Amino acid sequence: MLIRKPDDIRSSEITPESVYRSRREFVKDLAIGGGLLATAGFSHSALAVSGQQMAQAALQPGDDLTPERIATSYNNFYEFGMDKADPAQHAHTMSTQPWEVMVSGEAAKTGKFDLSDIIKGLSVEERIYRFRCVEAWSMVIPWSGIEMKSVLEQFEPNGNAQYVEFTTLERPSEMRGQRSLFSGIDWPYIEGLRMDEAYHPLTLMATGLYGKDLPNQNGAPWRLMVPWKYGFKSVKSIVKIHFTARQPKNTWNVLAPNEYGFYGNVNPAVAHPRWSQASERRLPSSLLNQNRIPTLPFNGYADQVASLYAGMDLRRNF
């Protein structure tokens, strides 16, 4: 099994940067520039609440931004290798221009589209999200991107579209991990969401982070970001979007169905077979300071998303 509990980051790699701004300062900047409102006490049914407001309201005390150099150098992107440092070291080999996306399935508008045409005219927003890996480490990252609903609805999915499936680029000539004989993954990497999850205001197609274009190692030129789910759900470098009536067979669920379910919702009450999910290691951390914090249901976004799973057994539907 590939996903494993990571070794601690060396303390020499995580010294806080003097130029690093705190979450509160970053939020203040967004409020001035984009009209971001800090809200609390809203419900998911309150249609006037924007995705930006939901994101801000879900932040917890102590949710300071992870230093940029950690967020861009400590990654799981097995297309470039199994080590956390491999993506930052090798992802420069991936070409992102031009970038075409194939859209298929239960929709009125299908075919091959240039990414620039897909996102043309759509609003890019700034969102600070908690990010929780299934390996029990976490970050707080400022993303920029487009609400998934705005991206998908332009293809006019029909009533048979109950799920949407996403596929990562498969290009072994540029992605050394896909050439490896030891990866164990049947490329390309595939993930999926129910349509109501994809249309939720918090679901983002990220195109940048820390006010910059998305780096290759973080999934350039665009990636999925679903903050209440484990990171393996947020598929990177997407080249295919497929609308379907059937639940997609996502990659990790196929590899280890007893360890990685389709939903991938963050749930501290459901342990991974090989480690607890009750707490997480918030980066930056070190060998002497693990910086462990309790894991929150739905990664702290329960008020916003729990209604999506009303009546479901979240132990069985993990």
> How far apart, in Å, do the first and last CA atoms of the chain sit?
18
Which of 23-27, 130-134, 171-175, 305-309 has the weakest average pLDDT?
23-27
Integer angstrom CA distances of residue 92 from 87, 88, 141 = 8, 8, 21
**Domain ranges (residues) in the chain:** 11-309
Q: What is the pLDDT of residues 22-31, one digit of tens each?
A: 444 544 444 3
DSSP conformational letter for 303: H
Question: Quick check: 8 pLDDT over 60?
Answer: no
**What pLDDT, on the 0 to 100 scale, is given for residue 181?**
87
Q: Is 33 helix (H, G, I), strand (E, B) or coil?
A: helix
| Separation between Cα atoms, residue 139 and residue 285, nearest integer Å | 11
Q: What is the C-alpha to C-alpha distance for residues 263 and 305, in angstroms, rounded to an integer?
A: 13
188 preceded by cis ω (within 30°)?
yes
Topology (CATH) of 11-309:
Sulfite Oxidase; Chain A, domain 2 (3.90.420)
Across 33-47, 174-188, 290-304, least confident range: 33-47
Instruction: Tell me the C-alpha distance between 98 and 79, whole Å.
Output: 19
State residue 49's pLDDT score: 84
DSSP-assigned beta bridge partners for residue 129: 141
Confidence (pTM): 0.87
Q: Is the pLDDT of residue 36 over 80?
A: no
Q: What are residue 235's phi and psi, to 5 degrees? A: -60, 145
pLDDT classification of 183: cutoffs 50, 70, 90: confident
Distance between CA 83 and CA 33 in Å, rounded?
A: 38
Q: Which two tokens stand for residue 49?
A: 């609440």
- Burial profile 274-289: b = 16 or more Cβ within 10 angstroms, e = fewer: eeebeebbbbbbbeee
Strands 111-114 and 100-105 turn out to be antiparallel
pLDDT of residue 48: 60
- β-pair partners for 168: 238
Instruction: Provide mean pLDDT across the span 197-224.
Output: 98
Cβ-contact 111, 162 below 8 angstroms: no
Please state whether the peptide bond connecting residue 284 to the residue before it is cis, i.e. omega within 30 degrees of 0. yes
Under DSSP, is residue 310 helix (H, G, I), strand (E, B) or coil?
coil
pLDDT, tens only, 56-89: 999 999 999 999 999 999 999 999 999 999 999 9
Position 274, amino acid: R
Give the C-alpha separation, 301 to 168, whole Å.
26
